[in-house]
Amino acid sequence: MHEADPIHTHHHAAQFYGDETELFKTIGAFLSEGLVSGQPAIVIATPAHNDAILDALSSHLIDVARARHLGDLVMLDAEETLGTFMHNGLPDSMLFQRAIGDQIEQTVRGRGRTPLRAYGEMADVLWRRGQTDAAIRLEVLSNELASLHTFSLLCGYAIGNFYKEASKIDEVARQHTHVIGTNVVPIDAARSLRALA
């Protein structure tokens, strides 16, 4: 990869998790740190995970009701959001830009150059459906979006989804600048991550 590649211009991390408790701990710390610093947050997750993330933020003393009311914290449903830009089984670039790019612009409007923090698991939802190519494509589009908007993105992936296709985990890792949970990542992925550093 070259230094000009979008993957090098922003923070795009993936957490491979077996235990959801660890996932929510990571998300809570990542988003609350931003919110305390005045950085708004967007969460795109399943309804059950959205509820758990709100609890995690509350445990960090974030007034989630106030943050949501002020527009500092936006909670979206992963399945519903996917429905706004999927076309013929793949994410459509223009529809993705409209749906996610517009949401980012709306969330940061009036905040100057304040960066945004986001957590997403739409790629994980696609992976669970067996739509692995669509999941990779979604990560590529997220990296391209970083050339237009300033944000840090954390993606959650259930490691159990990779047991049948362990070779693909390296492909997912390559689309990220950082990987959390490297103890469950095959050695090839770990090597590719060191190459990105």
Backbone angles phi, psi at 45, to 5 degrees: -145, 175
Quick one: CATH architecture of 6-192? 3-Layer(aba) Sandwich (3.40)
pLDDT of 31 higher than 50: yes
With a CB cutoff of 8 Å and minimum separation 6, the contacts of 131 are 89
Q: 71, 197, 82, 91: which is closest to 138 by C-alpha?
A: 91
Residue 130 CA to residue 58 CA, distance in Å, equals: 34
- The three-state secondary structure class of 63 is coil
Tokens standing for 149? 């908007």
Q: What is the mean pLDDT of the chain?
A: 86
* 137-162: pLDDT as tens digits: 999 999 999 888 899 999 999 988 88
Q: What is the pTM of this model?
A: 0.85
Left (φ > 0), alpha (ψ -120 to 50) or beta: where does 106 sit?
Answer: alpha
Q: 125, 43, 108: which is closest to 70 by C-alpha?
A: 108
Q: What one-character-per-residue DSSP string does 103-135 give?
A: HHHHHHTTSTT--EEEEE-HHHHHHHTT-HHHH
Q: Which residues pair with 11 in a beta bridge?
A: 152
What is the number of alpha carbons within 13 Å of residue 46 lying toward its C-beta?
A: 12
* 75-111: pLDDT as tens digits: 999 999 999 999 999 999 999 999 999 999 999 998 8
Res 194: pLDDT: 37
Q: What is the domain partition of the chain in residue ranges? A: 6-192
